[in-house]
Structure 1
Amino acid sequence: MIHLPEWLAQQEQHLTPLFETAGDGLSVNTHLRGKEKNRLTLTRHPSFDAAMIGMVTAGLAEEDWQGFLYVMHTGEGNDLTPRYIGKAEKKGITNPVSANLIRIASNHDKFGRWGYNKAYHVGELSHAVLGEAFRPGRAPGKYHRWAAALFETLEPPKLQLPVSMSLIPWWDGLRGPSGMIGSLAAVEYELIALAAAAYPEALLNVQGR
């Protein structure tokens, strides 16, 4: 079976920083959100937003587009370590287009699973990192694990290493690492299994290992 970095290098993908940072590349910028602008949030990188909007907009125009895979990495250049793998499917549970993807250019609270709202990755990670400044209460334990793995300090939020995202669009008929033609869900589990074997201490996925 092909190794994960080799397979990723063969795919059409958009690789961008996840967070907007200060000049050192590690100190994550924050901004205020909510109707009253009272919820402090980690800020996504503009190039990540542009890549997501462009990919989803183009994908939704094609009948055979299933959605996309995403891989969060730490590191730089050719030295990238996969940290979390997931998917966002085109079809919703009850609707032809998932609420995660519909009106993607203005849907910043959901934004392909990387939205700023509760129950979405950047929102819950912001809660784990910024605490009460984001929302009262405690973030899910999963995101406290993310915060400990990714951040050197929480006040102010500073990363241990640069964090980037691979966005990989997926169409009917594409092949996963095993060489089999697979659905988005099947390929997601293939990638998690490969990453768990190659990076057992670094991978933050629990389900699918």
Structure 2
Amino acid sequence: METLVLAESDILIDDWKSGRGEYDGLIYLMYTISNHDDVIPLYIGKAESIGKNGGNLSANIANLHRDKSKFARWGDGYAYHIGDLSAVAVLDHPREKVTSKYTNWASRLFEEFPRQYPKLKIPVHFWAKAWRSSEVGIWNNFGPTRLTFLEYLMIGVASSAYPESLLNREGQNRS
């Protein structure tokens, strides 16, 4: 995961530094594999190249080789996936950092928690890709797909196909 995120975010950083603006950011998927070798999505998300201050490189992808606290939204700081999941699943985190979102994640992913070394219930895999705004997403009819729209398309389709597995809250189809 770390190697993949670093390689793909380096593409984004190079694009931003060059001023080409070809890439929107990083699309990522946390998933498991079924007994029949099917990919079962667990979480779909994105980390955009451009930061909140307009034009600046996003702090979520800047300096990842030196600072992994944000790590394309998967950082170990609080308000990031690994940090907030750790607050629930690993002993000795402040209880005020525990959220219902990551309690749900921990329930799906770990046998017991909190523990010093939580054990996964299932093998968990990770995929990520630097996304060009000119690329066609999962729905050919839409043609070139911006990152934000791609994320919502993927969440919508995955929530219909795998409603019991997907951990995303936003963008899911309502039952």
TM-score, structure 2 as length reference:
0.86
Cα gap change, 1:198 to 1:52, in 2 (>3 Å): same
Question: 1:91-130 alignment to 2 at 5 Å?
Answer: 91-94=50-53, 95-130=55-90
Match in the other structure for 2:14: 61
| Structure 2 spans left out of the alignment, 5+ residues | none
Residue of structure 2 in register with 1:194 after alignment: 157
Give the structure 2 partner of residue 172 of structure 1: 133
Q: Measure the CA separation in 2 of the matches of 1:138 and 1:93.
A: 24
In 2, distance between residues paired with 1:51 and 1:71?
12
User: If each structure's helix is expressed as a fraction of its own residues, which one has the higher value?
Assistant: 2
Task: Name the SS for the 1:153 alignment partner.
Answer: coil
Q: Deviations over 1:146-205 (max 9, x none)?
A: 000011122340111111111022012111112121110000000001000100111111
- Among residues 118, 121, 125, which one is paired with 1:160 in the alignment? 121
Q: For residue 59 of structure 1, report the CA deviation from its aligned partner.
A: 2.4
Provide the residue aligned with 1:85 in structure 2: 44
Equivalent residue number for residue 143 of structure 1: 102
Percent of pairs with identical residues: 34
Instruction: Name the counterpart of 1:185.
Output: 148
What secondary structure sits across from 1:61 in the alignment?
helix
Residue 70 (structure 1) aligns with: 28
Distance apart, 1:80 and its partner CA: 2.6
Higher relative strand content = 1
Q: Distance in 1 between matches of 2:100 and 2:78?
A: 14
| Contact 1:110–1:120 (Cα < 8 Å) also in 2 | yes
Q: Which runs of 5+ in 1 are unaligned?
A: 1-47
TM-score (norm 1): 0.73
- Structure 1 residue 138: Cα displacement: 4.2
Secondary structure of the structure 1 residue equivalent to 2:108: helix
Larger relative contact order, structure 1 or 2 (CA cutoff 8 Å, min sep 6): 1
Can you list the C-alpha shifts for 1:48-73, whole angstroms capped at 9, x where unaligned?
11211111112221221111111110
Provide the secondary structure at the position in 2 that maps to 1:187: helix
Whole-angstrom CA distance in 1 between matches of 2:166 and 2:45: 12
Partner of 1:24: none
